[in-house]
Amino acid sequence: MSVNPDIQVERDTATFRSIDVTHMLDGSPEATNQRRIRQKQIGDDPQINRRNIIFMSHEERYEAAIARGLRIEQLKAEHDWDIMDENNAIMWCFSDIAMFVHKVMFIPAIERLGNKEQHDKWLPLAIDHKILGTYAQTELGHGTFLRGLEMEARYDKSTEEFVISTPKHSSMKWWPGSLGHSSSHAVLLATLYIDDQNCGMQPFIVQLRDLNTWKPLPGVEVGGIGPKMALATTDNGFLVLNNVRIPRDQMLMKYAQVSKDGKFTKSGAAKANYSTMMLVRVGIAHSCYFSLAVGATIVTRYSAVRRQGEIKPGAPEVKILDYQTQQLKVIPSIATAYAFHFCKEHLKWYYIETFQQIQQNDFSGLPEIHCVTSGLKAYMSDIATAQLETLRRACGGNGYLLSNGITNTYIQTLALPTVEGENTVLYLQVARYLMKCLKVAATGEAVKGSLSYMNEKIKTPYTSGLVTREDYSNVKKLLKLYQNMTVRLTQKAGDHLNKLHVSGQPKYEAWNNTSVQLVNAAKAYCQTYVLGMNIEGLSTQAVDLPGDALEVIHQLCVFYALHGITEQSGNFLETGCINITELHIIQQEAQEMMAKIRKNAVALVDAFDIPDNLLNSTLGCYDGNAYQHLYDSAKSDPMNQKQVLPAFEKYIKPMLQGKHTSKL
Ligand SMILES: CCCCCCCCCCCCCCCCCCCCC/C=C/C(=O)SCCNC(=O)CCNC(=O)[C@H](O)C(C)(C)COP(=O)(O)OP(=O)(O)OC[C@H]1O[C@@H](n2cnc3c(N)ncnc32)[C@H](O)[C@@H]1OP(=O)(O)O
Ligand SMILES: Cc1cc2nc3c(=O)[nH]c(=O)nc-3n(C[C@H](O)[C@H](O)[C@H](O)COP(=O)(O)OP(=O)(O)OC[C@H]3O[C@@H](n4cnc5c(N)ncnc54)[C@H](O)[C@@H]3O)c2cc1C
């Protein structure tokens, strides 16, 4: 099929070469080649390819998802993939791999929470798929408030075993992925009791199913929790344990230990047992970038080939991408995807470095990385889901089809604001950190890390520093506005908290009565962090780009900053970080920048270099022949393989012949 001329012209008139930006996103031309080889291995594989999933039943999809997980393992062995190759493969299909929790949570939990002997025993079994596991933490009654977990593990000194039980409905495990039908084992988080003394939430390895028959073991009641919005193949489950006994060495004992005679000891940081969640929060930030890159690619290409209506009366119908309002739906998502790219790259290295320190029992970096990973997980998933919905609607009626590729991406991404810590709760963790840093700054001590900008006192009366027109595209000046806005919102929340406390409210009550302001400040911190990483990326990752490409990536960053101000203008105005005249100029600059970026929109999404067999979209194929692909997809629907369906003889015909009664 030849390329649609409407999309070809976009590529021909772009001011830079997409491939240069692709190399930047991958890190180097060699890395691009390597990624392409890997993507071809997964995209071309008939067992991994997900072209037909939209027509499958739940059970067919589940089976295909198991086969897909297995196939990824085979490809990994055949082609000697490293951990990031494997992560990327999982990322591409995570909504359709039944056992991905085994990979992204069960194994990491054993690695992080187990001691040397436990690693030696369990990791080979898990890595070789001799056992399949889930991460069972959430209960029917508690998901967020982990100190409230009610499943009990009581130590029995006489037999050196833990006895695990579910005392009431609210204490059953509820939600763990792959628990329903696909796990033989679980890393199970339960409250440990020794001689009736509560020793807090601890991790245990519990076998749930017989490895030969796959039947639940005695005392284990397990099953699926029912159909969900998406992620149909991650069979989330429930689990009731009736006095199930496990040996003492099946408590994962890296950070807390129980001796044979029932002595409880702790080592490491208080929240060290929460470290698996931190890794997955980093994974979620990566996933938000991927989802947005997919969405932006599909909708930008579709908007460049769909013509409808006219701008100039009587002139030929225009591409919908030429409507300014359509640009406002599409261009922010391109700019955000690039900002998220820089941010997730930074986060990956930051996490790896801090994790190495933690492995060496240096926990000093934990509070800051907990704040950053919690905040970015929340912020990036909030923004990604909001923008994906805007993008989906930007496809008009075809945005409601499953074959468009964006709907599936959107509904699977919708899980991310909830999993691994509900977003509001995570913003409140960020706010805790903000309040601590505010206290440090108030004492005159230097705040370190991502909030070091708090050290600079904001002068009153304050000027924004935006003097010349050039200042409005100076990303460092724009970043300063964001930082000041964050500090002021933090101060405001802090003042409110103090005021309530001084007026007699206990601290916990004052906290709850300030939580709206606190979340607002936390979001501002996250937005500022993402912009900061985008700007850092310009001078690190983008610096070697040819001038024309660098200019476009710079424009995107400027637009990201300006557009962010227009979206949050209330916060900027209220804190006095800009005035109304400056806001008007910012709005105008943002619109002008958007028009410049429009020229390169298709080339910018091409640079994400997502092959058609992973994009899985009728609307967003590289060749731009959306209508042909829509038609082909409709024709391949199994319902269309018969001209007359059985329902005709059964119901429609009797009805047409007046033979129907109230009892069909
Ligand atoms: C090689 C590696 C490189 C990495 C690259 C990654 C590449 C990516 C590849 C990944 C592949 C694909 C990924 C696809 C992504 C899709 C993922 C989909 C996943 C679906 C599966 C979902 C699983 C789950 O949902 S599991 C269950 C998760 N549950 C939660 O998250 C519970 C939420 N609750 C909490 O976290 C806590 O309880 C919280 C935060 C509410 C607080 O708890 P608390 O006990 O009440 O504590 P509190 O009193 O508030 O605070 C005390 C103190 O402790 C600090 N704290 C809290 N949490 C932590 C932490 N995690 N770490 C450190 N410190 C913590 C808190 O701040 C307080 O401190 P102080 O203020 O100093 O007292
Ligand atoms: C698709 C999916 C997959 C999952 N996979 C797993 C898994 O593999 N393993 C696992 O263990 N769990 C899993 N979960 C569970 C998930 O981690 C929890 O649902 C999540 O942590 C939220 O907890 P909750 O359901 O208790 O929400 P709740 O805490 O009940 O949240 C409900 C509302 O209460 C608010 N709220 C709660 N506490 C506070 C507070 N302190 N301050 C202010 N507001 C508050 C929240 O903001 C939210 O608006 C999964 C969930 C989903 C949807």
pLDDT at 661: 64
Rounded-to-integer distance, Cα 222 and Cα 474, Å: 58
Rounded-to-integer distance, Cα 515 and Cα 534, Å: 29
Give 295 Cα–ligand 2 centroid separation in angstroms.
Answer: 26
State the maximum Cα–Cα separation within the chain, in Å, rounded to a whole number: 90
pLDDT at 330: 98
176 close to ligand 2 (CB < 6 Angstrom): yes
- Residue with the smallest CA separation from ligand 1 atom 73 is 432
DSSP string, 508-528: HHHHHTTHHHHHHHHHHHHHH
Q: Position of tokens 């990491």?
A: 108
Element (H, E) at 165: strand 161-165
43 close to ligand 2 (CB < 6 Angstrom): no
Give 489 Cα–ligand 1 centroid separation in angstroms.
Answer: 25
Ligand 1 mutation target, pool 135, 277, 414, most atoms within 8 A of CB: 277
Whether the per-residue pLDDT at 434 is higher than 70: the answer is yes
The answer to whether the complex's ipTM is over 0.95 is yes
Rounded-to-integer distance, Cα 209 and Cα 154, Å: 22
pLDDT, tens digit, 9 for 90 and up, residues 631-643: 999 999 999 999 9
94 close to ligand 1 (CB < 6 Angstrom): yes
Q: Are strands 152-156 and 185-194 parallel, antiparallel or unpaired?
A: parallel
What's the chain's average pLDDT? 95
At the topology level of CATH, where does 131-271 sit? Butyryl-CoA Dehydrogenase, subunit A; domain 2 (2.40.110)
Q: Are strands 161-165 and 244-247 parallel, antiparallel or unpaired?
A: antiparallel
170 close to ligand 1 (CB < 6 Angstrom): no
Q: Are 469 and 460 spatial neighbours (Cβ–Cβ below 8 Å)?
A: no
pLDDT at 663: 57
Catalytic residues: 420
pLDDT, tens digit, 9 for 90 and up, residues 299-346: 999 999 999 999 999 999 999 999 999 999 999 999 999 999 999 999
Mean pLDDT within 549-574: 98
- Residue with the smallest CA separation from ligand 2 atom 39 is 425
Which atom of ligand 2 lies at the shortest distance from residue 421's CA?
21
> Which ligand minimizes its atom distance to the CA of 227?
2
Q: Is 138 annotated as a binding residue?
A: yes
- Residue with the smallest CA separation from ligand 2 atom 42 is 425
Query: Where in the sequence of the chain do the CATH 1.20.140.10 domains occur?
Result: 276-447+472-604
- Quote the CATH superfamily of domain 276-447+472-604: Butyryl-CoA Dehydrogenase, subunit A, domain 3 (1.20.140.10)
- Residue with the smallest CA separation from ligand 1 atom 72 is 367
Q: Are 561 and 482 spatial neighbours (Cβ–Cβ below 8 Å)?
A: yes
Rounded-to-integer distance, Cα 600 and Cα 559, Å: 14
Which of 352, 348, 356 lies closest to 27, judged by CA?
Answer: 348
Rounded-to-integer distance, Cα 109 and Cα 260, Å: 23
Query: Where in the sequence of the chain do the CATH 2.40.110.10 domains occur?
Result: 131-271
pLDDT at 431: 98
244 close to ligand 1 (CB < 6 Angstrom): no
Instruction: Name the amino acid, one letter, at 573.
Output: L
pTM above 0.95, yes or no: yes
pLDDT at 329: 98
> Which ligand minimizes its atom distance to the CA of 103?
1
Rounded-to-integer distance, Cα 184 and Cα 136, Å: 12
pLDDT band at 461 (very low <50, low <70, confident <90, very high): confident
Ligand 1 mutation target, pool 42, 235, 271, most atoms within 8 A of CB: 271
Give 450 Cα–ligand 1 centroid separation in angstroms.
Answer: 19
Give 291 Cα–ligand 2 centroid separation in angstroms.
Answer: 22
- Range with lowest mean pLDDT among 38-52, 314-328, 496-510: 38-52
For residue 251, list its beta bridge partners.
204
Q: Is 283 annotated as a binding residue?
A: no
Give 419 Cα–ligand 2 centroid separation in angstroms.
Answer: 6
Which of 342, 352, 414 lies closest to 84, judged by CA?
Answer: 352
Which of 266, 156, 141 lies closest to 202, judged by CA?
Answer: 266
- Range with lowest mean pLDDT among 40-49, 363-372, 595-604: 40-49
